[in-house]
């Protein structure tokens, strides 16, 4: 019985065409090796290949997002320092621009030094990290000499009053971020032969850094250093049970440090207990007016320059409590945008760290993320009354040269580490060629 099915059409050569005829082969869809369609800049092609939410995982997007977040926070900080300090400067008989000009000079210096730090190779930081931490500890110990300057009961500054002052603890934070990954990397290689003794050097340097700061009675900075060092031990492979033991010891030491100071105990009790009438004009005064500022901002704020609490009601309005003025003048949305910028900064650092092929560079990025994001979080929690007053500045925003310059240098160091990531390295090399 004959079939009614039509035979397949054949080409002129008599060969039946395949299903792929008429479609460009997969290997020919892109003229670049990485399938980006961009011969001149492979990194840009990979950047374009990520769409939607997947862009959040793209190292190249994170590299640019990190730099934008740093610049946005820094520029916004200069504006807010001027807004929050102008009335205080006038009441002191100085120009309303005095603090803003000073902050602007620190900003330019920090950006220049940060750019220079970004041009130093990651290998150089690895090689000289021990020298850096040694100099940082030495500078911190100078605070207990006659060159040390005490501010609000903390001996954390050195210099000549009225001429030059600096806070060595800011240098120590970066030094710990650079050296602890080096020490942990060396210790991990030696652990098989030496056991726990391999971790002697990083533990001693870590504890020495804490001791140098605690001598100056700076509990807030000590907590930030504990977070940086603890993160290095955790991601560096330190045995968990020993890490738990060290953590318990440090918690105990911090508790003793707090209980032994009546001033700290008063601040803690004032934070978590109702304030008496007398305390409202004393230990609770700063926290109460910070809440007044945050509460009066509403959704959109009173507008830049229109704060009421900066009229010498809120102490340290341009420094540790500048976030309260941000909330008052820019409202809920402005305060939320600041938090979002810190989240972007931290996410970008951690995301690129995950994509790094070098363990040291990845650990440095994570440590810098912990330093900046956790310090910002502590500052915000103090302002809104979730933590007692500690004297922790807001990174990139609070007035003060030491914090701003060292944060920008740390951003430059992070950018140097990021450029070692293969995708970012390819993109930056193509742009510079």
Beta-bridge mates of residue 165: 159
Whole-angstrom distance, CA of residue 114 vs CA of residue 110: 6
Please check the confidence at residue 33 and state whether its pLDDT lies above 90.
Answer: no
Q: pTM of the entire structure? A: 0.86
pLDDT digits (tens, 9 = 90+) for 65-117: 999 999 999 999 999 999 999 999 999 999 999 999 999 999 999 999 999 99
Please check the confidence at residue 19 and state whether its pLDDT lies above 50.
Answer: no
**Secondary structure of residue 377 in the 3-state scheme:** helix
Beta-bridge mates of residue 371: none
Identify the pLDDT of residue 30.
40
Better-predicted residue by pLDDT, 339 or 24 = 339
Whole-angstrom distance, CA of residue 97 vs CA of residue 258: 38
CA nearest 409: which of 122, 64, 8, 111? Answer: 111
Q: Where are the alpha helices (DSSP H) in 120-272?
A: 122-141, 168-194, 200-214, 219-235, 240-259, 262-272
Q: Which residue bears the tokens 């009675």?
A: 217
Beta-bridge mates of residue 157: 149
> What's the Cα-to-Cα distance from 294 to each of 84, 232, 282, 337, 373, rounded to whole Å?
14, 35, 20, 15, 21
Better-predicted residue by pLDDT, 397 or 37 = 397
> What's the Cα-to-Cα distance from 151 to each of 106, 148, 155, rounded to whole Å?
20, 10, 6
Q: Where are the alpha helices (DSSP H) in 18-155?
A: 42-49, 59-91, 98-119, 122-141
Better-predicted residue by pLDDT, 277 or 309 = 309
Question: Region 217-224: what's the mean pLDDT?
Answer: 88
Question: Region 369-393: what's the mean pLDDT?
Answer: 94
Whole-angstrom distance, CA of residue 286 vs CA of residue 164: 27
Identify the pLDDT of residue 32.
40
Please check the confidence at residue 258 and state whether its pLDDT lies above 60.
Answer: yes
pLDDT digits (tens, 9 = 90+) for 169-209: 999 999 999 999 999 999 998 888 888 889 999 999 999 99
Structure tokens given for 218: 């700076």
CA nearest 71: which of 352, 345, 351? Answer: 345
pLDDT digits (tens, 9 = 90+) for 115-163: 999 999 999 999 999 999 999 999 999 998 888 887 766 778 888 776 7
**Radius of gyration for the alpha carbons in the chain, expressed in angstroms and rounded:** 27
Whole-angstrom distance, CA of residue 185 vs CA of residue 201: 11
If pLDDT is split at 50, 70 and 90, which confidence band does 10 have?
A: very low
> What's the Cα-to-Cα distance from 155 to each of 138, 159, 252, rounded to whole Å?
15, 12, 22
Identify the helix (H) or strand (E) that includes residue 156: strand 154-160
Average the pLDDT over each of 2-6, 168-172, 379-383 and give the range with the smallest value: 2-6
Identify the pLDDT of residue 433.
63
Rounded percentage of the chain residues whose pLDDT exceeds 90: 60
């Amino acid at each position: 019985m004959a079939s009614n099915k039509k035979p397949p059409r054949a080409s002129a050569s008599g060969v039946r065409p395949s299903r792929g005829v008429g479609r460009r082969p997969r290997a020919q869809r892109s003229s670049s090796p990485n399938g980006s369609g961009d011969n001149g800049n492979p990194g840009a092609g990979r950047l374009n290949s990520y769409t939607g939410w997947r862009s959040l995982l793209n190292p190249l997007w994170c590299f640019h997002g990190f730099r934008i977040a740093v610049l946005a926070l820094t520029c916004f900080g200069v504006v807010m320092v001027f807004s929050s300090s102008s009335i205080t400067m006038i009441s002191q008989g100085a120009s309303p621009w005095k603090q803003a000009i000073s902050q602007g000079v620190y900003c330019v210096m920090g950006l220049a030094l940060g750019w220079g730090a970004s041009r130093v190779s990651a290998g150089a930081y690895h090689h000289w990290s021990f020298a850096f931490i040694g100099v940082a500890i030495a500078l911190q110990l100078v605070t207990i000499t006659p060159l040390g300057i005490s501010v609000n009961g903390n001996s954390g500054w050195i210099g000549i009053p009225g001429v030059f002052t600096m806070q060595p603890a800011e240098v120590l934070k970066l030094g710990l971020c650079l050296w602890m990954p080096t020490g942990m990397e060396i210790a991990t290689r030696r652990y098989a032969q030496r056991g726990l003794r391999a971790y002697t050097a990083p533990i001693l340097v870590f504890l020495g850094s804490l001791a140098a700061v605690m001598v100056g009675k700076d509990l807030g900075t000590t907590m930030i250093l504990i977070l940086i060092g603890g993160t290095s031990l955790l991601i560096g492979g330190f045995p968990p049970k020993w890490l738990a033991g060290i953590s318990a010891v440090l918690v105990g030491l911090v508790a003793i440090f707090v209980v032994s100071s009546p001033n700290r105990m008063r601040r803690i009790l004032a934070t978590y207990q109702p304030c008496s009438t007398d305390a409202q004009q004393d230990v609770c005064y700063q926290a109460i007016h910070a809440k007044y500022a945050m509460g009066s901002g509403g959704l959109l704020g009173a507008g830049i320059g229109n704060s009421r609490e900066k009229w010498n009601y809120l102490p340290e309005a341009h420094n540790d409590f500048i976030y309260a003025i941000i909330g008052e003048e820019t409202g809920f949305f402005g305060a939320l945008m600041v938090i979002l910028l810190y989240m972007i900064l931290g996410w970008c650092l951690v995301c690129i760290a995950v994509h790094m092929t070098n363990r040291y560079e990845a650990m440095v990025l994570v440590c810098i993320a912990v330093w900046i994001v956790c310090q910002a979080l502590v500052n915000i929690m103090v302002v809104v009354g979730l933590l007692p007053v500690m004297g922790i500045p807001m990174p990139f925003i609070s007035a003060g040269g030491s914090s701003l310059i060292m944060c920008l240098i740390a951003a430059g160091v992070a950018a140097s580490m990021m450029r070692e990531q293969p995708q970012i390295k390819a993109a930056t090399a193509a742009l510079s060629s």
